[in-house]
Amino acid sequence: MKKALLLSCGLLAATFLSLGQTTKSPAAVQPKPADSSASKKPTSKAKSYDQVITKEAKSKKGLFTTHQIGDKFYFEIPKKHLGKDMLLVSQIAKIPNGLGGGYVNAGTSSHEQLIVWEKFQEKILIKIKSYAAVAADSLPISLSVKANNYEPTLYMFDIETYSKDSSNVVIDVTKFYSSDIPAMSGLDASLRETHKVRNLDASRSFIRSIKSFPLNIEVLQDFTYNATKPSATAYTETISMQMNQSMILLPEKPMKPRLFDQRVGYFTQRQYDYSSEELKSDQKTYIQRWRLEPKDMAAYKRGELVEPIKPIVYYLDPATPVKLRKHMKKGVENWQKAFEAAGFKNAIICKEAPTKEEDPDFSPEDIRYSVIRYVASTTRNAMGPSVSDPRSGEIIESDIIWYHNHLRSYRNRFLLETGASNPNARTLDTREEDIGEMMEMVISHEVGHALGFPHNMGASSSYEVENYRKADFTNKEGISASIMDYARFNYIAQPGDQGVRYIRQMGPYDSYAVNWGYRLIPDAARPEDEVPTLDKWIEAKAGDARFRFGNQGTTFDPSSQTEDIGNDPIRASTYGVKNLKYVAQHLAEWTSKKTNDYEDLIELNDELLGSWSRYVGHVTTMVGGVYEQYAKPNQHISTYNPVPKASQQAAVNWIISNVFTNVEWLINREVVTHNMAGYIDRMRSLQVSPLNRMLSVETFARLDNSGLTTPNHYKTIDLFQDVRGGIWSELASGKNIDRYRRNLQKAYIERLKALMTDQAPVVLMSRESYPVAQSDVRSIVRGELKALQASLTASKAKFADKEVRYHLDDCLERVSLILKPAK
């Protein structure tokens, strides 16, 4: 989970505090630490403790003592915690269906910010703090850093009273947690605009609970908003949601951070260090990781496996079905071997949650406990969020979230992607051992996120495609070099391939990445001192594709794609499509004919179309594709290398043969006769999507740039000519043009029209603007339109079918109007 947090201004805060003390007590003129605002109860208008915290109070001791009196809530804050760094995490607990178009989920963190509680006169302030800009306190520039990064005040409270020994201050937090504060809200400006949110309805909003634990406080809010366009039950004009606010005390001494290197995938924290001797601020990026320290440092230095002082422990939610617990436990502890590569034994452990009798104070909401939560929800997903210290990147806690229906997605994908060669997958009642292994690997994947690892979408491309058909290779190496890739199943193996592995597993990259991020370098005093050693670890694996990190964020690298396997997208997708054709022929046999119901057949058929579209997308990425390989200058490796011309042409030809033609097999007659779902339009959409992606401005920009480093490169004009030849091949052959092709040909003309007429410059992913009107694109498009106009004029007489002739007449008219718009 990535964070974006702000900055500290302790000097000015201390100044304000000192001024406040001076006006209240003669003792305050003596220098004092900022977190001890007064040793005696100051003279004020505050009520006595017993007047505020009455006998009716329901109190709970923890980080702060919390009190509830009727519908009012109070925090009793120890003065020793004033000025201490805390993390405020705002997380969506429950949301209505369809909020944000379905892209916002329960469990999503909406805000994470560093805060401090400060006393100013007879007020308590919550200040938002940041470590995004820092400088050593001993340097003069630290004064400027603090003065130019003054933190905002999130909220100000009146002091209601003091504890009887004056060591604590008491504030009323009811209004704070009942208000619609943007910095803590689950509805950002975009969502408010989308759903036309007018305001928070105070009469229907309340604090559901406040719980205090030794290191954190958890507040559950029920908020109801008046909204003109709610995502569900529109007639109510209401959006109701629950928010969970976690306030977490950060460690007194931050962990020593480790500098990030983009050649190894980690979630990160960023800072601008103004202590640098360079002529500019020095941006430092630290990785997110747990704090692991060996019990026996001497043995650790000798290279022995040593247990950590505090291992990473996950507890199983008591709501987890008993038969699934062993798979979850194994999924967590699969990482033990990876941590051994970093010198730690039993570094990560999974336990059953204690019973009430064993530990009455245990709670999944206690920040001291990381829990695998089992959520009764129809959502098909799993998540591995974590909370980290923005000062150092130390991961403080994480909860793995498993949604009940997630295994249905895996059952479906297992059937569709492996059913052609795997008899065990040809059923709606997947074997428990297969389901258990799938769950185990999903948990391992999500735990990887919670350990600091993002997706490594390049991991599966390190294996040769043909190796996926070999039992010895797949059972040893799995189907990807990392569990962090989205490489779920072996969809390459063909009927007759015996003994191959179908389900993913941990890979060599996982141990390598754990070693790089978690192995201690004891003799390095500063993060910068670690860099030479860290570089050596990377360079020792250079050239071995299994240890390459492939960023998920790219849309142009065919070797770093989601849901793909193998190092050749064309060959892999050819095998995948061949398997889907077999499955399509037998889908009714494996579903509706067994259940006497069409629900599963229709659902699986829709997902089959999705699988086909993914395989097509893997090949489409090769067109205008660029391989990305992170490196440092001393490695003498080019970071970006265009896909060779021959490979791009082969990709275009594959799409022409497998996407622009020969798609009738995708229409399942058994499904169509029992489900009016508009399959003709669905096919149009599936064909047009790769067409538009190939003929996109982003593709043209990459093709243009590739000419700077590759003389014999695939050019934009080559792409246009190849695509036109493939889409309009009937004009030369006289072959009948079916409805799928007619739709596609019209879409082609519409795409060229857009390229000719759209006025606004296109902003690419690199945030650079590509001025289409000033490039060669329109010149080429105009030439292609003229060539098509001539072909249509010369060829339309070949076709006797009236529907086809009308289609060609229409296409000719459309082309003519683009070239010479009507006045």
Q: DSSP letters of 241-275?
A: EEEEEEEEEPPSSPPPP-B--TTS---EEEEEETT
Cα dist from 634 to 283, 535, 631, whole Å: 21, 11, 8
Q: What integer is the mean pLDDT of 488-511? A: 97
Specify the pLDDT at position 814.
Answer: 97
Q: Is residue 819 part of a domain?
A: yes
For 47-56, what is each residue's pLDDT tens digit?
Answer: 899 999 999 9
Q: Is residue 237 part of a domain?
A: yes
Specify the pLDDT at position 2.
Answer: 38
Distance CA 38, CA 121 (A): 11
Number of structural domains (the chain) is: 2
Cβ atoms 272, 283 nearer than 8 A: yes
Please provide residue 708's backbone torsions phi and psi, each rounded to the nearest 5 degrees: -70, -25
Where residue 9 falls among pLDDT bands split at 50, 70, 90? very low
Specify the pLDDT at position 763.
Answer: 62
Specify the pLDDT at position 531.
Answer: 97
The long-range contacts involving 141-145, CB below 8 angstroms and separated by at least 24 positions, are 141/274, 141/275, 142/11, 142/274, 143/11, 144/274, 145/7, 145/274
Where residue 34 falls among pLDDT bands split at 50, 70, 90? very low
Residue closest to 380 by CA, chosen among 488, 458, 266, 461: 488
CA atoms within 13 A on the CB side of 301: 6
For residue 780, pLDDT over 60 is answered with yes
For residue 445, pLDDT over 90 is answered with yes
By percentage, how much of the chain surpasses pLDDT 70?
A: 88
Q: Is residue 116 part of a domain?
A: yes
The long-range contacts involving 17-21, CB below 8 angstroms and separated by at least 24 positions, are 17/118, 17/119, 17/120, 19/121, 20/119, 20/120, 20/121, 20/122
Task: Point out the domain boundary residue: 229, 249, 269.
Answer: 249
**Residue reference for tokens 């179908």:** 502
> Where do the DSSP E strands lie in 594-752?
626-628, 640-642
Specify the pLDDT at position 766.
Answer: 60
Of 188-202, 336-350, 371-385, 389-403, least confident by mean pLDDT is 371-385
Cβ atoms 106, 378 nearer than 8 A: no
- Identify the three-state secondary structure at position 129: strand
Specify the pLDDT at position 10.
Answer: 38
For residue 516, pLDDT over 70 is answered with yes
What pTM value is reported for the model?
0.85
Specify the pLDDT at position 169.
Answer: 96
Where residue 725 falls among pLDDT bands split at 50, 70, 90? very high
Specify the pLDDT at position 60.
Answer: 95
Count the helices and strands in the chain (H runs, E runs). Answer: 25, 26
Specify the pLDDT at position 6.
Answer: 32
Q: Is residue 111 part of a domain?
A: yes
User: How many Cβ atoms from other residues are within 10 Å of residue 142's Cβ?
Assistant: 17
Q: What integer is the mean pLDDT of 194-215? A: 94
Higher per-residue pLDDT: 361 or 437: 437
Specify the pLDDT at position 23.
Answer: 34
Q: What integer is the mean pLDDT of 737-765? A: 87
For residue 611, give the amino acid letter. Answer: S
Q: Is residue 97 part of a domain?
A: yes
For 242-299, what is each residue's pLDDT tens digit?
Answer: 999 999 999 999 999 999 999 999 999 887 654 555 544 567 899 999 999 999 999 9
Distance CA 293, CA 463 (A): 35
Specify the pLDDT at position 319.
Answer: 85
Cα dist from 146 to 131, 271, 317, whole Å: 11, 14, 44
Sign, CA dihedral 359-365-368-374, equals: positive
Q: What integer is the mean pLDDT of 30-45? A: 46
Specify the pLDDT at position 425.
Answer: 97
Look up residue 182 and give its DSSP letter: G
Sign, CA dihedral 695-697-702-704, equals: positive
Domain that holds residue 799: 602-647+655-823
Specify the pLDDT at position 621.
Answer: 97
Specify the pLDDT at position 674.
Answer: 83
Task: Point out the domain boundary residue: 192, 225, 249.
Answer: 249
For residue 30, pLDDT over 60 is answered with no
Higher per-residue pLDDT: 387 or 496: 496
Specify the pLDDT at position 29.
Answer: 35
Where residue 146 falls among pLDDT bands split at 50, 70, 90? low
Task: Point out the domain boundary residue: 234, 249, 264.
Answer: 249
Higher per-residue pLDDT: 424 or 672: 424
For residue 609, pLDDT over 80 is answered with yes
Q: What integer is the mean pLDDT of 126-143? A: 64
Report the chain's mean pLDDT, rounded to a whole number: 88
Distance CA 468, CA 490 (A): 7
* Crossing angle between the packed helical segments 679-694 and 599-620, to the nearest 10 degrees: 20
Where residue 710 falls among pLDDT bands split at 50, 70, 90? confident
Look up residue 664 and give its DSSP letter: G
